[in-house]
Amino acid sequence: MRRHLATLAALAVGLAVLGVCVAFAFLRSGS
Amino acid sequence: MSWLGFEWRSRHVVEGVLWLGLYVALSVFPLVLVLLTKPEELAGRSFWTELSVGLGFVGLAMMTLQFALTARFKTIKSPYGSDVVYAFHRVISLVAVFFVILHPLILFVERWETMKSRPITHPWPFWLGTASVLCLVGLVVVSLWRRPLGVHYDGWRRWHAILASMAVAFGVLHALWVGHYLSTPANRWLWLGYTLAFVGLIVYVRLVKPLRELGRPYAVTAVIPQRGDAWTLQLKPIGHGGLRFSPGQFAWITVNDSPFSDREHPFSFSGSSERAPELEFTIKNLGDFTSRVKDIPVGQRVYVDGPFGALSADRHPRAEGFVFIAGGIGITPMMSHLRTMADRGERRPLVLLYGSRDEESITFREELDELQRRLPNLKVVHVLSKPSAAWQGERGFIDREKLERYVPKGLQLEYFICGPDPMMDAVERALQEMGVPAGDYHAERFNLA
């Protein structure tokens, strides 16, 4: 159970980081 | 669930969210700094180029953070248990590797036409980046398929550390050499900080910790054979006060005259925490290092890094009773609990459901009989999968029916589970079906790779 939560937490962190990358690309490219 | 129990868990949820927030912040900070410093000479690049660069930076920062996750800092591990931190490490590493691989892939796809007609203008950054990605791919392949590939645990640990260090070193050199976003002083300082933290963590794990252990050696005082092809190592500290642990915790031990050896292995304490500073570890022969435990001579120096782990009844002082569920050598953290509880004169109801193959493989069989005398409220139930015809006790595996039959009713109980993975999966499923709240059962798994 706790390990499943750890896996979900890691995936959530990955998604959050990916979101920031996309926002960064938008802001830098001006698109 | 008690109000205090709820408060304890919510505190850990809040702490967990804060740790995750810090992880995200440190991962994306290089991008935030680029946005703040606005290097104008790079303005006007395409969305896909910027996304690729962003993924590269973030992937590299996340890889650097892995070294902090696995450096065995007790403040990170103690609230959650080591297996949770390693489960997070495993998945987040795959995410980081995915980002790192996307970085060149997006650039290749976007610039395919120009790259076809033009040779690579900066070969060194290209090769450094390629070397970093290859190290990462090797790392992932050997970690996910260590057993099918026939790689020994000690060799895997050594190569895991070497490949991870090389991947980060090549990656940082690649970023420095390309230089675009590292042209501003703020970004250069930031990456200098990340690099120093990365080197500092390696120095801490490989040099500072072993140096500290050098002054705290232990000596083997006895090597005792047990049923079930297991051996108990008894240790005593030489010239220092030893360490204090809670029952159910574990330590990394190095059986070597030098603490600088990277051949260290995690084992649960099997002795009573009330008998510290003497320590006991009971180790089953599973091949590799464990097959040589019986040959360790009395007097051999041993170094102990610990305690670690959250699988302890001491964290649940308000529980009205405890259920211990063990399979095979998973009995060791339960023995530590029962021995400690006997020394403390525990009065709360205790149940041990212990799965073994046959009568001869029940590790600690005689001592468990003795513990039932010392602990009047302890019930030990042996469950044998292949018993002799004369066996009078339970047969088969630990399942829902047996749990329902032996677990006391109407009490706020805490459950501890340790054993082979399929057994732990089955028991966790059975407890779920019985309606036991997920926060009331606890398991730690040691299959790191």
Task: Write out pLDDT tens, residues B86-108.
Answer: 889 999 999 999 999 999 999 98
Mean pLDDT of chain B: 89
Task: Name the residue among B34, B50, B80 with its Cβ closest to that of A29.
Answer: B50
Residue of B nearest to A7 (CA): B88
**What residues have CB less than 8 Å from A14, skipping those under 6 apart?**
B91, B92, B95, B98
In the A/B pair of chains, how many CB contacts fall below 8 A?
97
Residues 334-353 of B with CB under 8 A from A: none
What's residue B196's pLDDT? 92
Could you give the CA distance from residue B332 to residue B284 in angstroms, rounded to a whole number?
A: 10
What's residue B4's pLDDT? 42
**What residues have CB less than 8 Å from B199, skipping those under 6 apart?**
none
CA gyration radius, chain A: 13
CB within 8 Å: B50 and A3: no
pTM, full prediction? 0.81
Task: Name the residue among B47, B81, B85 with its Cβ closest to that of A29.
Answer: B47
- For the cut 80, the answer to whether the pLDDT of residue B72 exceeds it is no
Mean pLDDT of B267-296: 90
* Strands B230-237 and B218-226, sheet pairing: antiparallel
CB within 8 Å: A3 and B20: no
**What residues have CB less than 8 Å from A30, skipping those under 6 apart?**
B43, B44
Tokens found for residue B274:
């009330």
| Residue B22: strand, helix, or coil | helix
What's residue B319's pLDDT? 95
Q: Which of A2-11, B250-259, B415-424 has the highest mean pLDDT?
A: B415-424
| Signed CA dihedral, B66, B70, B76, B82: sign only | positive
Residue of B nearest to A10 (CA): B92
Which of the 8 DSSP states describes residue B448?
-
The answer to whether B290 touches B384, Cβ cutoff 8 Å, is no
Residue of A nearest to B57 (CA): A21
Which of the 8 DSSP states describes residue B389?
T
How many angstroms separate the Cα of B229 from the Cα of each of B223, B285, B292, B332, B339? 13, 6, 12, 14, 21
B-chain CB neighbours of A17 within 8 Å are 24, 27-28, 58, 62, 95, 99
CB within 8 Å: B35 and A26: no
- For the cut 80, the answer to whether the pLDDT of residue A2 exceeds it is no
A4 to chain B, closest Cα gap in Å: 8
**Sole residue written with tokens 């990456």:** B191
CB within 8 Å: B16 and A9: yes
Could you give the CA distance from residue B246 to residue B402 in angstroms, rounded to a whole number?
A: 29
**What residues have CB less than 8 Å from B123, skipping those under 6 apart?**
none
Q: Kindly report, residue by residue over B341-363, the tens digit of the pLDDT.
A: 999 999 999 999 999 999 999 99
- Mean pLDDT lowest among A3-7, A16-20, B337-341, B420-424: A3-7
How many angstroms separate the Cα of B277 from the Cα of each of B41, B235, B330, B344? 63, 9, 23, 16
Compare B370 and B184 and report the one with higher pLDDT.
B370
Task: Name the residue among A6, A13, A24 with its Cβ closest to that of B24.
Answer: A13
Residue of A nearest to B21 (CA): A13
A-chain CB neighbours of B428 within 8 Å are 1
B56 to chain A, closest Cα gap in Å: 10
CB within 8 Å: B35 and A27: yes
- Name the nearest CA neighbour of B421 among B445, B449, B403: B445
Tokens found for residue B48:
């896909």
**Sole residue written with tokens 């993975």:** B421
CB within 8 Å: A10 and B99: no
B-chain CB neighbours of A7 within 8 Å are 87-88, 91
What's residue B77's pLDDT? 58
Task: Name the residue among B16, B24, B51 with its Cβ closest to that of A25.
Answer: B51
Share of chain B above pLDDT 90, in %: 63
CB within 8 Å: A26 and B58: no
The answer to whether A19 touches B103, Cβ cutoff 8 Å, is no
CB within 8 Å: A24 and B54: yes
Residue of A nearest to B33 (CA): A24
A-chain CB neighbours of B35 within 8 Å are 24, 27-28
What is the CB neighbour count within 10 angstroms for residue B346? 20
Please report which confidence band the pLDDT of residue A31 belongs to, taking 50, 70 and 90 as the band edges. Answer: low
What is the CB neighbour count within 10 angstroms for residue B306? 18
The answer to whether B233 touches B296, Cβ cutoff 8 Å, is yes
| Residue B401: strand, helix, or coil | helix
- For the cut 70, the answer to whether the pLDDT of residue B79 exceeds it is no
Please report which confidence band the pLDDT of residue B3 belongs to, taking 50, 70 and 90 as the band edges. Answer: very low
| First-last CA distance in chain A | 42
Mean pLDDT of B420-440: 91
- For the cut 90, the answer to whether the pLDDT of residue B222 exceeds it is yes
Tokens found for residue B363:
């590790």
Q: Kindly report, residue by residue over B285-308, the tens digit of the pLDDT.
A: 887 778 889 999 999 999 999 898
How many angstroms separate the Cα of B355 from the Cα of each of A31, B218, B272, B302, B386? 62, 33, 22, 31, 10
CB within 8 Å: B28 and A17: yes
Residues 1-31 of A with CB under 8 A from B: 1-3, 5-7, 9-14, 16-18, 20-22, 24-31
CB within 8 Å: A1 and B49: no
**What residues have CB less than 8 Å from B97, skipping those under 6 apart?**
B59, B136, B137, B139, B140
A30 to chain B, closest Cα gap in Å: 7
What letters, b where the CB count within 10 A reaches 16 and e where it falls short, cover B195-211?
Answer: beebeebbebbeeebbe
A19 to chain B, closest Cα gap in Å: 10
Q: Kindly report, residue by residue over B249-267, the tens digit of the pLDDT.
A: 999 999 988 888 777 888 9
Tokens found for residue B180:
């675009």
The answer to whether A1 touches B415, Cβ cutoff 8 Å, is no
How many angstroms separate the Cα of B122 from the Cα of each of B44, B118, B126, B178, B285? 21, 11, 7, 8, 53
Compare B188 and B395 and report the one with higher pLDDT.
B395
A29 to chain B, closest Cα gap in Å: 5
Share of chain B above pLDDT 70, in %: 92
Which of the 8 DSSP states describes residue B247?
T
The answer to whether B445 touches A3, Cβ cutoff 8 Å, is yes
